[in-house]
A and B are shown apart, each in its own frame.
Chain A
Amino acid sequence: MNKDNEQLDALENKVAKALGEDLKALFSPAGRTPDEVDRAVLDATRKRLVRPRRHRWRLVRAGAAAMAAVVLLAVVLNVTRDHVGRMHPAATATAPADIDHNGRIDILDAYKLARRLEGPGALEARWDLNADGQVDRADVDLVAFAAVRLDGGA
């Protein structure tokens, strides 16, 4: 066996490329994976591995984007810091994301803003939460995201 091991490298070096090519040709399947298999696997993948599609925060991009988001959300939530430094929503009803001024930020704030966007009424400048000069769906998403934050949402 030792002899085999020692001589294998030398023998493999003598193997012509044609051996691999002919073997591949012999065992090359005529068909290919059916599309139905692709669909089944990819559907299962999307069901099992779910990530937030509205917030495609890839880890590799997290740095600057996350910093900007934290700053923006801090403004939206009007967060303050308590004596141990934990972020929490302000107790007052002055947070910009508190659209209905009920002292709480929840999905109804986002819903009401979305309804205003679709309605005929005028849009208020204070709803431009991301300060991009317009009140649109991005602002609605920002309110909704503020509502579901684990460290300061509803």
Chain B
Amino acid sequence: METDEKLIAAANAGDSEAFEALYLRYRDWVYALAMRFTGNGAQAADAVQETFLYLLKKFPGFELRCGMKSFLYPAVRHISITITRQGRRTSSDEALLAELPAPDAAEMGGSQAELAAVLETLAAEQRQVVLMRFVDDMPLADIAEALDLSLNTVKSRLYRALEALRSDSRTRRYFLD
């Protein structure tokens, strides 16, 4: 598999298939991320389209100096929030809820429900770092780049978040000691 850097170099040289490969590599992640920000499938789809059109406009001449997810994360966030504020396509809570996956017991067991409840108690910036680390599988340095924070700040937030999860009886089982 070609590296992101090679695909970017090829796209800079006019290779549309290289950009397509980048799109297919990150499309589903961008969609999942946009769903987190919008909670709405149609708006998330809009965000995917606008994110990659934004990226496309950087070519030729695009230079990536960090991880691709670090570059895309703030773009997805910015675009998703703009779309949400514009109330594009849907704006009512009913419509938003209609986009949610069907919540049955098989999909969302008791442990997940408890995890969701504990996440709600975390500070927003701590929760954000937890999701980037464990849902997006981003290295700490990439999280710092994406959020424009120092690495120490990211580590601090993640440490405090994990300590909170470990100290809560509902999520204690996620820790091995």
Main secondary structure of the interface of A (DSSP, over half): helix
Cβ-based interface call for B162 (8 A):
yes
Tell me if B's interface is mostly helix, strand, loop or mixed: helix
Interface size on B, residues (CB 8 A): 57
Set A4, A15, A25, A31: member contacting B156, Cβ < 8 A = A4
Contact with B along A51-69 (1 / 0, CB 8 A): 1000000110000000000
Q: Would you call B162 and A12 a contact (CB within 8 A)? A: yes
Query: Are A48 and B56 in contact (CB-based, < 8 A)?
Result: yes
> 0/1 per residue, B8-32, Cβ < 8 Å to A?
0011011110011001000110011
The reply on B135 being an interface residue by CB < 8 A is yes
B49–A11 CB distance below 8 A: no
- Asked if A19 contacts B45 (CB within 8 A), the reply is no
Is there an interface contact between B31 and A16, defined as CB atoms closer than 8 Å? no
Contacts of A15 in B (CB 8 A): 134, 162, 174-176
Contact B19 A29 (CB under 8 A): no
In this complex, the member of B52, B100, B102 whose beta carbon has the largest number of chain A beta carbons within 10 angstroms is B52
B interface with A by C-beta (< 8 Å): 10-11, 13-16, 19-20, 23, 27-28, 31-32, 35-36, 41, 44-45, 48-49, 52-53, 56-57, 59-60, 99-102, 107-108, 111-112, 115-116, 130-131, 134-135, 137, 152, 155-156, 158-160, 162-163, 165-166, 171, 173-177
